[in-house]
Amino acid sequence: MKKHSILVGICSLGLLVSCATNPLTGKKTLNFVSNSELFPSSFAQYGTFLSENKVITGTADARRVENLGMKIKVAAEKYLNYLGQQNYLNGYQWEYKLIDDKQINAWCMPGGKIVVYSGILPVTQNDAGLATVMGHEVSHALANHGAQRMSAAQIQGLGAVGVVVATGGKSEETQQTWQKVYGVGSQVGVMLPYSRNHETEADKIGLILMAIAGYNPDQAISFWTRMAASSNGQAPPEFLSSHPSDATRIASLQAMVPEAKAIAAKFGMIYK
């Protein structure tokens, strides 16, 4: 048990020294990984991905992705300057690529490296829909969600070691039982809710960015309604998912829209 106490102490110290307030969310965040450590790896992985997949260039859709990406980038700069975070984007190397793939998906890696799959374009339907997607994905990067997930996974791993140490004197069957209980409990009770919270944060920041970029945030509701229809009811129960349910997400977005409009109005964007 002495070893277990030492391990708990180390984890607690890590939590204390690694929590900082994110200016975009106003919340304390767990982050062991700095941008200087994360960005080079992110950029390298992005380059590898592009080399292994078909990048669409020179088409109207490719230009739309590029142009909208630039608008979201400018909106992020404006918003961060407004928040007094002029240096927040130091080290970002923005890039926006359309990939020939039927997946209904898009993502943004730490440091501003964005991919949009061609399969999502029929669901976005228009520029406002695409701005919803790109604003959301960029917001994951701006809120440092990647680094936070890595940090949380490290804590989860340390917790697993703690279970092994604490049950070291028990039978093999008891040890396996407690390891399974910890694995399921930490995933369903901690990691999945953590991920769902990140999705909600990215939704909120994304609404603000798309509104500042000139797109009515009401259109985000329409997009996510279409996304819900595209899933054909195949999503798992919310408590077993890394994302909020469609109903939860749409209700949250509806509640967030007025704030996004109010912030955008400070930049001269007025939406009825």
Burial class (CB within 10 angstroms; exposed 0-12, middle 13-18, buried 19+) of 179: middle
Residue numbers annotated as active site: 137
| CA atoms in the 13 A half-sphere facing the CB of 63 | 3
In sequence order, the 6+-apart residues with CB closer than 8 A to the CB of 114 are 65, 69, 94, 95, 96, 97, 106, 107, 108, 134, 137, 138
Burial class (CB within 10 angstroms; exposed 0-12, middle 13-18, buried 19+) of 229: exposed
CB 211 within 8 A of CB 271: yes
